[in-house]
């Protein structure tokens, strides 16, 4: 059988292949959920259980933080989780209808995706995959 690490690598390869081979297919929330599920086949990020194949939930703010415990510095706070479905609907619609240079689309989509930060984990990997899809 595959080692746990192999499942993660295999999932990332599957996601990248789908993005590039099927770059003409429209972006949908289900496609993003499929990519997310492939990245987290066991529903965990390290030791933590995460929501997989769905937008992030919960009342806790999604923050990008650095620093030692008790001396954290918040660099960014994403929109609250209840705003994520509408934000992602707008992003998906834009990705499917915008008529811009692929370079502009990839850059804007990447920034927009990581700004919304729709998943508990994997946002960077999926935003880079989305950019690759728009460039393919």
Considering only residues 59 and 7, tell me which one the structure prediction assigns the higher pLDDT: 59
The model's pTM is 0.90
| Token couple for 91 | 């992003």
Tokens at 89, concatenated? 């609907």
pLDDT of residue 27: 98
The residue to which tokens 């390869």 are assigned? 13
- In this structure, which long-range contacts are made by residues 105-109, counting pairs with CB atoms below 8 Å and at least 24 apart in sequence? 105/134, 106/130, 106/131, 106/132, 106/134, 106/135, 107/131, 109/134
Q: Is the dihedral of CA 7, 49, 114, 116 positive or negative?
A: positive
Domains of the chain: 4-135 (1.10.3290.10)
Q: Mind listing the pLDDT tens digit for each residue in 105-124?
A: 999 999 999 999 999 999 99
Residues 31 and 130 sit within 8 Å (Cβ to Cβ): no
């Amino acid at each position: 059988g595959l080692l746990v690490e192999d499942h993660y690598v295999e999932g990332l390869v599957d996601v990248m292949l789908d993005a590039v081979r099927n770059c003409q297919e429209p972006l949908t929330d289900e496609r993003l959920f499929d990519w997310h599920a492939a990245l987290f086949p066991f529903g965990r990020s390290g030791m933590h259980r995460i929501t997989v194949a769905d937008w992030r939930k919960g009342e806790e703010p999604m923050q990008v933080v650095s620093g030692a415990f008790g001396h954290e510095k918040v660099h960014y706070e994403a929109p609250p989780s209840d705003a994520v479905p509408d934000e992602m609907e707008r992003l998906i619609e834009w990705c499917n209808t915008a008529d811009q240079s692929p370079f502009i689309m990839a850059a804007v989509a990447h920034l927009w995706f990581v700004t919304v930060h729709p998943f508990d984990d994997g946002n960077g990997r999926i935003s880079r995959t989305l950019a690759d899809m728009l460039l393919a």
